[in-house]
Amino acid sequence: METRPRKNPLRNPLHESALHEAPTPLEVLSDVESRLGSAEELVARQTLPAREAIPAEEAPPLDSRILEHLQKSGTWPLYRHQAQSISRTLAGEDVVIASSTASGKTLCCTLPVIDAMVRDPGAHALLLYPTKALSQDQHRHLRGVIDGMGLQLETGIYDGDTEPTMRRRLRRSGRIILTNPDMLHASILPNHGGWGALFANLRYVVLDEVHTLRGIFGSHVSAVIRRLRRICRHHGSDPVFIAASATIRNPGEHVGRLIGREVSVIEDDGSPRGHKEVVLWNPPVVERTDGTLTRRGPTSVAVRLLPELVRRGLRTICFARTRNNVELILRYIRERARGASDREEVASKIEPYRAGYLPTERRRIESSLFDGELGGVVSTSALEVGIDVGGLDGCIIVGWPGSVCSFMQQAGRAGRRHGESLVFMIAGNDPIDQWFVRHPESLFGSSPENAVIETDNPYIVARHLICAAYELPLTSADDDLLGPGVTAMCTVLQEEKRLREEGGAWYLAREEYPATQVKLRTASEENFTILELGPDNIVGELDYVAAMLSLYEGAIYIHRTETFIVEEMDHVNCLVKIRRTKTGYYTQVLTQKRVTVTEEWDTREVCGARIRLAEVEIRTRLTGYKKVRFHSTENIGYGEVHLPPLELDTVSHEISLDRDTVMQSEEHGPGFLRSGMHGVARLFRDLLAIRAMCDPGDIDHHVDDNLIHIFDLYPGGIGYSELGHEQHDGILKDVLEAVVECPCVAGCPSCVLPGASRIESSLESEVMEYPYPKEATRWLLHRLMGLEPYKPELHGVPAPVESPLNPPAPALDERVERKIRKVARLTSRGNR
Amino acid sequence: MKQGNQRLRRVIQKLQVGSSSPKVTPTIPEDVEVDLEGVVSPEVLNQTPEEVMFLDLETTGLRASRSLAAMIGFLYRKGTILHLSQWYAGDAASERRQLKRLREKMAGFREIVTYNGDGFDLPFLCQRWKWHRLDSECPLISRDLLPLIRKKYRRTWPDCRLVTAEERLLGLPRCEADVPGSEAPLRFQDLREGAPFAVIEPIYLHNRRDLISLVGLRYRLQEEMLSS
């Protein structure tokens, strides 16, 4: 991003008014340290030393006008990895550049594109960015280079925000199109006839931030890219792919799977780096008024730390995990500042940023952060990917961001080429946070993670085959791009009357526009628009599932620290009407789940249980909501919700405890087993998330009777619970380690108890109030791992119950049981 | 596939439930194949070589990328009669069948006569062939009558539409029941949405009329060329 002129990026408004020397980030850090109550709070400190730039030895064979421009604009010489990557791209190789944040990947992508435009007046290029905000930023950068060279090139962003006239213009004469995978899928590919010039002359496809194209989204995008290559081939082009990634362990393998052919990997980072201090901060355990112990929340640390850093002149970005957290942090900061004019000035220099704001509002915040008008910003991961917000001095990460890769990206937002920067990672109470606090070496030492995509999920493949059939009839010629099973899958789709065969080609069996039924990122069909009554402003948008779980009538919606009450949900028009109101509470939905197995895939006996991998149907009923007071988080009331249940077809790893285990647990009293099951389930899910390199929020668990379900929160599954099924024993070992290593006595949210950030409000009080969840979990783990029986220490618990209240049902003949299950399955299928 | 086709099948059943109400594709009506006798004078007939195909498409829209060649009408001389074929396609799959048959049929001819075929019908055909992943070059020599008419009568006629040419050169005013060709897309749409087949009968008549006029016009233009 070297080419963009900066409006005094080092200026800090607060400093200039205060007229004193700005302390360096390291000075600020030692100051913060000296004021801490206990040095133990800072559990690990890692110095990433400054690094010199490694310039390229020879210039890549770019057009002389481009080289001239680079020299003029001070971007010369290129770094070694940039020159390498550009040379390979120009030689026609697909490449992926995997290097750290701000290492100049953008130029690796844009220079070959501009080179093609300069040399060939017919050449076109397609640039794909995972978010709209990123394409805005990258377009500004690209225009900077193009205008700086005095070229006449039609370029533009083609996304959901693009005006119809601009859309027509880009279709007709756009040479470089910036868009996102969603738009490519839903609008450009289905109408490829209108984009003839683009597809016939497509030279380059740029995929930026490919490490974000993983999991569900990545699996969909890989199908979209296969469709893209098919359309290109139809129009007579075969574009070269240029991918840019954060440092992950498997960039070559990942991009290879994503685009369906082998790529060259450039990992040799030659960019300079400033000195960076990374601090892991574990907030102290404090005593509540009722005498119980709790860990101070990361939010409350951030609320104090962020204004401190901003006040001292460090431009700081603060990453929170959820949209709600962003709003909460800012609200608390403003509340704390009230009354003191200097604090208020600091607070006014901090703004929130998250998805759900209107594009114009987001653009304004981005640019004022870039220009240095803002001292700090509180953001969700929306600002994590490559949006250039200029060099920042500090970064606060509030709670584990979900993956090492995300952590590195967020930490990379702070740091200039030269000079120092500070990164604070404030651990939350969740097991994963605490796991990394206890194992900091896995953050700094071990190699980073794998990006995982599933190219075989039949939900994804079938949907994209139908989309592909709309674009062009499917034939056996598509085997090499869409996979060798195309013909077989088409036959099934024909039997189900979605496709129709005619002379060896498959067509849609009816008139439809299938792309609208396939969303790449969520399972939800519609977005809800949020309308503020009174001024009648549209304040934002939320996707279907998120809206169902947070916007029911009576719910409190927090937007830019203001509270609103939801007055009406209009499901027909997907409109939520809210009214501004002052409340002292927020709301949390209460749910009830039911899991039905529809097909069993694999089953095996393990110690104390039978585990199986199965396709399941999960119905979530929203039963009501509770009102939670700000700050104290106490319950102050309940409300009713009248909504249809949410349904999810997915894959589950089911652990069904055997009768013996259930009966033996009964001697430890009521609530013991269920508490243990919840403990195992929660930790299993979190530790599986680390192995599957996904957000723990992509996996859910449910405990029912003697069954523990660990399932993917995506229709058809994305392979997470399959991984759990495969690595069942290994994960249980991790779970036991986490329980044993946790310093708490009876169990805490860092190990076996639900964290405050989870929607687990459906728990019965018997489990919530069970006094020894940790002992129960340990006992169950010993059973499940075939270890020596564990003797739980249950002080003051009633003596073993001699005759269980519910005697076990008489054993059923296995064959009879199988038949009953089969009937149950068949009938449940028939009801759909 | 990991879990085999059984799973895929269920997935698709699911997808179907979620999608919009299914629309029934009408069955293809029988293609029209008729021998026309006495529709042109013996003189015109004799001057029409057997290797010439007269073609007129009726489409569901102007853009080939998102429209169907819903009716392919063509005419040729077979001995002492004119043979008319009109092939209907209600969806992409049946369009493929018709387009493929058309290519096979074309192999027996040398020249193709159209009205604005170079501007519309032939590029449309080529694009549809290409979309269906069939051979997409037009194998016949194109003879588009519109440019010839334009060149000659542009200054004297109000417009150069086929109807005008018919009236002025052949002296045949269209009957009242004739629908303009521009109405075809709407009528095809109605049919696909469940209207009775009768809604496109006027299109059949219109198309037949156009084709017969083409035979006459070709003759007239040739005559004029020879005499001048």
Residue A714 φ then ψ, to 5°: -150, 135
Digit-coded pLDDT (tens) for A113-132? 999 999 999 999 999 999 88
Q: Which residues of B touch A526 (CB under 8 A)?
A: none
The reported pLDDT for the residue numbered A759 is 40
Long-range contacts of A763-772, Cβ-Cβ distance < 8 Å, separation of 24 or more: A763/A678, A766/A670, A766/A671, A766/A674, A767/A671, A767/A674, A767/A675, A767/A678, A769/A671, A770/A671, A770/A672, A770/A674, A770/A675, A771/A746, A771/A797, A772/A672, A772/A675, A772/A746, A772/A747, A772/A797
Decide: A562 and A334 in contact? Cβ < 8 Å. Answer: no
The reported pLDDT for the residue numbered A258 is 93
Q: Which residues of A touch B19 (CB under 8 A)?
A: 512, 514, 517
Digit-coded pLDDT (tens) for A483-541? 777 888 888 888 888 889 988 899 998 888 888 888 887 644 567 888 888 888 777 77
- Shortest CB distance from A502 goes to which of B10, B96, B131? B96
Q: Which two tokens stand for residue A650?
A: 């997915």
Dihedral angle at the C-alpha atoms of A128, A133, A134, A139, nearest 10 degrees? 80
Digit-coded pLDDT (tens) for B25-67? 444 456 889 899 888 889 999 999 999 999 999 999 888 888 9
Residue B177 reports pLDDT greater than 70 = no
Q: Which residue of A has its CA nearest to B67?
A: A193
Residue contact A193–B192, C-beta within 8 A: no
Q: Which residues of A touch B24 (CB under 8 A)?
A: 510
Residue contact A463–B2, C-beta within 8 A: no
Q: Is B228 on the interface with A (CB under 8 A)?
A: no
Decide: A717 and A698 in contact? Cβ < 8 Å. Answer: no
Residue A195 reports pLDDT greater than 90 = yes
Residue A448 reports pLDDT greater than 50 = no
Cα–Cα–Cα angle for A446, A449, A454, rounded to 5 degrees: 155
Q: Which residue has the higher pLDDT, A248 or A240?
A: A240
Beta bridge partners of A97: A244, A266
Q: Please state the domain extents for chain B.
A: 28-227
Q: Which of A478, A498, A511, A526 to mutate to test the interface with B (most CBs of B within 10 A)?
A: A511
> How far does the CA of residue B207 sit from the closest CA of chain A (Å)?
25
Q: What's the whole-number mean pLDDT along residues A813-824?
A: 46
Beta bridge partners of B85: B33, B74
Q: Is B21 on the interface with A (CB under 8 A)?
A: no
* pLDDT band, residue A24 (cuts 50/70/90): confident
Residue contact A507–B96, C-beta within 8 A: yes
**How many helices and strands, by DSSP H and E, does chain A display?**
29, 29
Decide: A374 and A350 in contact? Cβ < 8 Å. Answer: yes
Residue contact B131–A193, C-beta within 8 A: yes
* pLDDT band, residue B117 (cuts 50/70/90): very high
The region of weakest confidence among A212-216, A279-283, A388-392 is: A388-392
Three-class DSSP category at B25: coil
> How far does the CA of residue B27 sit from the closest CA of chain A (Å)?
12
Q: Which residues of A touch B100 (CB under 8 A)?
A: 503
Q: Which residue of B has its CA nearest to A472?
A: B131
* pLDDT band, residue A762 (cuts 50/70/90): very low
Q: Which of B2, B9, B15 to mutate to test the interface with A (most CBs of A within 10 A)?
A: B15
Q: Which residues contact A127 (CB under 8 A, 6 or more apart)?
A: A109, A113, A135, A138, A142, A176, A177, A178, A179, A205, A206, A208
* pLDDT band, residue A3 (cuts 50/70/90): very low
Residue contact A517–B14, C-beta within 8 A: no
Nearest CA to A440 among A46, A20, A7? A46
Q: Which residue of A has its CA nearest to B131?
A: A472
Decide: B203 and B184 in contact? Cβ < 8 Å. Answer: yes
Instruction: Check residue B44 and give left, alpha or beta (phi > 0: left; psi -120 to 50: alpha).
Output: alpha
Give the whole-angstrom CA distance, residue B83 versus residue B45: 12
Residue A429 reports pLDDT greater than 50 = yes
Residue contact A462–B15, C-beta within 8 A: yes
Q: Which residue of A has its CA nearest to B13?
A: A496
Q: Which two tokens stand for residue A208?
A: 């930026």
Residue contact A498–B132, C-beta within 8 A: no
> How far does the CA of residue A759 sit from the closest CA of chain B (Å)?
27
Decide: B148 and B162 in contact? Cβ < 8 Å. Answer: no
Three-class DSSP category at A331: helix
The reported pLDDT for the residue numbered A804 is 26
Q: Which two tokens stand for residue A791?
A: 């003797």
* pLDDT band, residue A561 (cuts 50/70/90): low
Cβ burial, residue A648 (10 Å; 0-12/13-18/19+): buried
Dihedral angle at the C-alpha atoms of A468, A471, A477, A478, nearest 10 degrees? -30
- Shortest CB distance from A510 goes to which of B18, B22, B127? B22
Residue contact A492–B2, C-beta within 8 A: no
Give the whole-angstrom CA distance, residue A100 versus residue A84: 16
* pLDDT band, residue A68 (cuts 50/70/90): very high
Q: Which residue of B has its CA nearest to A615?
A: B7
Classify domain B28-227 at the CATH superfamily level.
Ribonuclease H-like superfamily/Ribonuclease H (3.30.420.10)
> How far does the CA of residue A475 sit from the closest CA of chain B (Å)?
9
Q: Is B94 on the interface with A (CB under 8 A)?
A: yes
Digit-coded pLDDT (tens) for A315-345? 899 999 877 788 889 999 999 988 888 888 8
Residue A824 reports pLDDT greater than 60 = no
Q: Which two tokens stand for residue A525?
A: 């069909």
Q: Is B18 on the interface with A (CB under 8 A)?
A: yes
Average pLDDT along chain A: 82
Residue contact B1–A456, C-beta within 8 A: yes
Residue A109 reports pLDDT greater than 90 = yes
Q: At what angle do helices B92-106 and B122-131 cross, to 10 degrees?
A: 120
Nearest CA to A62 among A140, A152, A149, A173? A149
Neighbours of A159 (CB within 10 A): 20
Give the whole-angstrom CA distance, residue A197 versus residue A220: 26
The reported pLDDT for the residue numbered A19 is 44
Q: Is B186 on the interface with A (CB under 8 A)?
A: no
Q: Is B99 on the interface with A (CB under 8 A)?
A: no
Q: Which residue has the higher pLDDT, A90 or B29?
A: A90
- Shortest CB distance from B14 goes to which of A501, A507, A649? A649
Digit-coded pLDDT (tens) for A271-319? 888 888 999 998 887 777 766 667 788 888 899 899 989 988 888 999 9
Size of interface A-B (CB pairs under 8 A): 115
Q: Which residue of A has its CA nearest to B192?
A: A511
Instruction: Check residue A742 and give left, alpha or beta (phi > 0: left; psi -120 to 50: alpha).
Output: beta
The reported pLDDT for the residue numbered B9 is 63
The reported pLDDT for the residue numbered A149 is 93
- Shortest CB distance from A458 goes to which of B7, B22, B91? B7
Residue contact A517–B13, C-beta within 8 A: no
Q: What's the whole-number mean pLDDT along residues A173-179?
A: 96
Q: Which of B102, B133, B135, B190 to mutate to test the interface with A (most CBs of A within 10 A)?
A: B133
Residue A601 reports pLDDT greater than 50 = yes
The reported pLDDT for the residue numbered A809 is 35
Q: Which residue of A has its CA nearest to B11?
A: A459
